[in-house]
Amino acid sequence: MLATLRTHFGFDAFRGGQEAVITALLDGRSALAIFPTGGGKSLCYQLPAILLDGLTLVVSPLIALMRDQVDALNAKGIPAARLDSTLDADALREVYERLEAGTLKLLYVAPERFANEVFRQRLKKLPIQLVAIDEAHCISEWGHNFRPDYLMLAKICRRLKVPRVLALTATATPKVAREIRKSFRIAADDHVQLSFHRPNLDLRVTPCTAVERKGLLLDKINAVDGSVVVYVTRQETAEEVATFLARSGLPARAYHAGLPADFRADAQNAFMTGEARIIVATIAFGMGIDKSNIRAVFHYNLPKSLENHTQEIGRAGRDDQPALCEMLACGDDLNVLENFIHADAPSTQALGNLIQRLLRLGPVFDVSPYELSTVCDIRSNVISTIITYLEIEGIIEATGSFYATYRVKLLQPQEKILAGRLPAEQKLVRKILESGELKRWWLHLDPSSLAADLKQPREKIVAAINHLQAAGDAILSVSGVRQCYRQKKDPGDLNLLVAQLVEKFQAREHADLARLSQVVGLSAHRGCLTGYLTKHFGETLDAPCGHCDRCRGVPAKSIKRPKVRRVSDEEIALVRVLTDERHAALATPRQLARFLCGMASPAATRARLTRNSAFGMLADLPFAEVLAIAEAA
């Protein structure tokens, strides 16, 4: 092991925990590694991948991280590749050829790819020796960052008869760790967890009002030398705070998922190179960012959970030099964060509508997640969660996906495209081209309708369209992804099934609210702040850390909620106008309450109601109060 470590990675010794994890894997056992951010998790599967005689499959939700790791491995002479949505047809074909030839040691994939039955069938033919699952806390329904696609991974690994699994995460509570171990059948002795105590991180909590916050942030950043990350909750806050800092003479950039990809890349590059000392970002920033000299992380808004807080402050001081981690704890944030939690919980009516639509489609069916989201007025991530629950219960099974619409831009006259083809092929291509609807320069095609009209397999139609691009005769653009499923068993009483799903989402809602309450508790905690965080992850410090606010004698101070204001008569009148207008997207009190709190639902967005002046007008009020107003309207 040491020889491989030196030869391929240039290290003379393992870091804490790495050797124990690697030894377990090489001995044929599965393992769970809970290492803090920057703790060296990736080596725990990259080194065994070299030594094991077969393929290591790495599951990661982060395309940027996959790209960076594959590039780094290839630079070291270790054959690695990735399969993600950014690859074109030629790149995909090359990866599959290398897999079939057995020349790859590591393959990185996103968890969503396992929904494709063709991909799962390919995997059955490959000599998979290890599956490494990054961000493994995402499999837990009670974790802070649950992703439905992760729920199926344990079952898939068993179906593929994978001999060993490595689950990796930087943030797992004891409850989540037990759930991961149970899912992947990992022995307690092979659960390797490093300390969450980072002696170089100075933890601070500063309660403040919304009016004070910008000035406080400016003063605190001016007192720091070096790179700074400021975390915020909303995209508009990132823009607002970055603009404020820039106008105050500081080199700051905004980063969030709503920015165009090239803007995000430019902001990230500016921060990584030091051109921008400060980046103001939502949680979209930071995953997989390898910048060791971040000197301060400020939470301008309250984080959603202690797990989020710990993961985000873990990006500071990765060079082991002193770094400041400070939360500007403002009670005004609580309503916004709680409203986000309530916005994801679907109503009983919406859930019933979705279940009826899905399970009345017959034994084999395909659906558009986007259309389901809009028609049922349930957020797309929640749609994915519900469908995954149905898969876990064995009611349905994913069989693949396809694009509903193809757009074709011809680069040659039709007769020239047809020339040189066999008569049967000419006939098929002519019918395909003549059936399309021309809009500007693009021909719009529906392969499913074409297949039915021409009495041909859909695959044959798609292959013919794809060949137009491969031959250089056309440019293709695809859209409208549809997921394919088959019903595996009778779901039984649908009302009972809906009631069970409602109970699940209510439990998740309560768990998320409890996590936010733990964040609030950090400010009011009278003891060592580091100890408060480590205890959350099942670790008890032998003594107070000596480098946090409490250890320095700064007294605890509770975060105060702002006094709930009285709703004006004008606002009540506007709510009544909305109800009288009878918008389908605001038909239920919960839909109306979410709208008034500024939480855009799929149906309200499609109806363009978010442009209405009443959208978000009660965002500063607790959701329960807004719901009561909506029910009374």
In-domain check, residue 169 = yes
pLDDT of residue 287: 54
Burial of 252 per CB tally in 10 Å (0-12, 13-18, 19+): buried
pLDDT of residue 144: 55
Q: Cβ distance 201 to 165 under 8 Å?
A: no
In-domain check, residue 497 = no
Q: Is 110 left (phi over 0), alpha (psi -120 to 50) or beta?
A: beta
pLDDT of residue 147: 76
Q: Cβ distance 143 to 172 under 8 Å?
A: yes
Instruction: Kindly give the interhelix angle for 380-392 and 494-524, rounded to the nearest 10 degrees.
Output: 120
pLDDT of residue 266: 92
385 lies in which domain range?
366-487
In-domain check, residue 504 = no
Residues 299, 243 share a domain: yes
Length of the chain: 633
In-domain check, residue 580 = yes
DSSP H helices, 16-116, are: 18-26, 43-51, 63-75, 89-101
Residues 183, 209 share a domain: no
Block mean pLDDT (10 aa), the chain, length 633: 87 92 96 88 95 94 82 92 82 88 93 78 90 90 69 87 95 91 95 94 96 97 96 93 97 91 89 94 70 95 94 91 97 90 84 93 91 89 88 87 88 87 89 88 90 89 87 86 90 94 90 94 96 95 96 95 90 93 90 90 89 90 92 88
Read off the DSSP letter of residue 547.
Answer: S
Residues 182, 57 share a domain: yes
Question: What SS3 class is residue 474?
Answer: strand
Q: Cβ distance 31 to 105 under 8 Å?
A: no
Segments of 102-143 assigned E as strands: 106-109, 128-133
Q: Residue 172 and residue 193: Cα distance in Å, rounded?
A: 10
In-domain check, residue 408 = yes
Strand-by-strand arrangement of the 128-133 sheet: 80-83, 106-109, 55-59, 128-133, 165-169, 31-34, 191-193
Residues 269, 163 share a domain: no
Residues 439, 384 share a domain: yes
In-domain check, residue 473 = yes
Residues 235, 302 share a domain: yes
Write the CATH number for 515.
Answer: 3.40.50.300
Residues 143, 256 share a domain: no
In-domain check, residue 495 = no
Which residue type occupies 461?
I
Q: Which residues pair with 82 in a beta bridge?
A: 108
Q: Cβ distance 25 to 43 under 8 Å?
A: no
Instruction: Kindly give the interhelix angle for 529-536 and 494-524, rounded to the nearest 10 degrees.
Output: 160
In-domain check, residue 358 = no
> Domain count of the chain?
4
The domain boundary, picked from 495, 519, 536, lies at: 536
Residues 147, 18 share a domain: yes
Residues 137, 70 share a domain: yes
pLDDT of residue 289: 67
Residues 187, 265 share a domain: no
The domain boundary, picked from 167, 193, 219, lies at: 193
Residues 221, 313 share a domain: yes
Q: Phi/psi at 140 (nearest 5 deg)?
A: -85, 125
Residues 242, 166 share a domain: no
Q: Residue 312 and residue 334: Cα distance in Å, rounded?
A: 19
Q: Residue 117: CA atoms inside 13 Å, Cβ hemisphere, count?
A: 10
